Amino acid sequence: MRTLRIRTFTLLCFFFILTVPWIFYVTAHFMETNTFSFSKQGPQNEFQQKNLNETIRMIESNPGEWQDPEWQRRLDAQLRQAKMDAVITSASGREIYRSNAARRGTMSAAERFSIIENGRLIGKVAIYMPKSLGVGWMSILAGLLLAFFVVGMEMRRFLLKPLEKMSLAARRIAAGDEDVRLPGSRIAEIAEVRDGFQVMLEGLEQASRKQAALEEERRFVVAAVAHDLRTPLFALRGYLDGLEQGIARSPEKMAKYLAVCKEKSAQLDRLVEGLFAFAKMEYLDTKLNNGIVNLSHVLRKSVESVNPYARQKSISISSYAEENCFVSGDGHLLERAMSNLFDNAVRHTPPGGEIRVECAKDGDRVKFAIRDTGPGFSAEELERVFEPLYRGESSRNRSTGGSGLGLTISQKIVRRHGGDLEAGNHPEGGALLTGFMPAADSDSPNICAEASNAKKEPRAFVP
State how far the Cα of 235 lies from the Cα of 241, in Å rounded to an integer.
Answer: 10
3-state secondary structure 72-97: HHHHHHHHHHHCCEEEEEECCCCEEE
User: How confident is the model at residue 246, as a pLDDT?
Assistant: 80
User: How confident is the model at residue 462, as a pLDDT?
Assistant: 37
Domains defined for the chain, CATH in brackets: 39-130 (3.30.450.20), 218-283 (1.10.287.130), 291-454 (3.30.565.10)
User: How confident is the model at residue 218, as a pLDDT?
Assistant: 73
Q: Are 89 and 124 spatial neighbours (Cβ–Cβ below 8 Å)? A: yes
State how far the Cα of 88 lies from the Cα of 125, in Å rounded to an integer.
Answer: 5
Bridge partners of residue 461, in order along the sequence: none
pTM attached to this predicted model = 0.49
- Helical pair 46-61 and 69-82, crossing angle rounded to 10 deg: 170
Instruction: Say whether 112 sits in a helix, a strand or coil.
Output: strand
Q: Is 222 exposed, middle or buried (0-12, 13-18, 19+ CB in 10 A)?
A: exposed
User: How confident is the model at residue 431, as a pLDDT?
Assistant: 92
User: How confident is the model at residue 458, as a pLDDT?
Assistant: 40
Bridge partners of residue 436, in order along the sequence: 367, 420
pLDDT tens by residue, the chain, 463 residues: 677 888 888 899 999 999 999 998 888 877 766 666 665 544 445 667 788 888 888 888 888 888 888 988 888 888 888 778 888 888 888 888 888 766 555 556 667 888 888 888 888 988 887 665 567 788 889 999 999 999 999 888 888 888 888 888 888 878 877 777 777 778 888 888 888 888 888 888 888 888 888 787 777 667 766 766 776 787 788 878 888 888 877 888 888 888 888 887 877 787 777 677 666 666 545 566 788 999 999 998 888 888 888 888 899 998 888 888 899 988 888 988 898 899 888 888 999 999 999 999 988 999 999 999 988 888 888 888 888 767 664 444 444 545 667 788 888 889 888 999 999 999 988 999 999 999 987 665 555 555 545 443 444 333 3
Beta strands in 351-460 (DSSP E): 354-362, 365-372, 420-425, 431-438
Other residues' Cβ atoms within 10 Å of the Cβ of residue 448: 12
State how far the Cα of 279 lies from the Cα of 50, in Å rounded to an integer.
Answer: 102
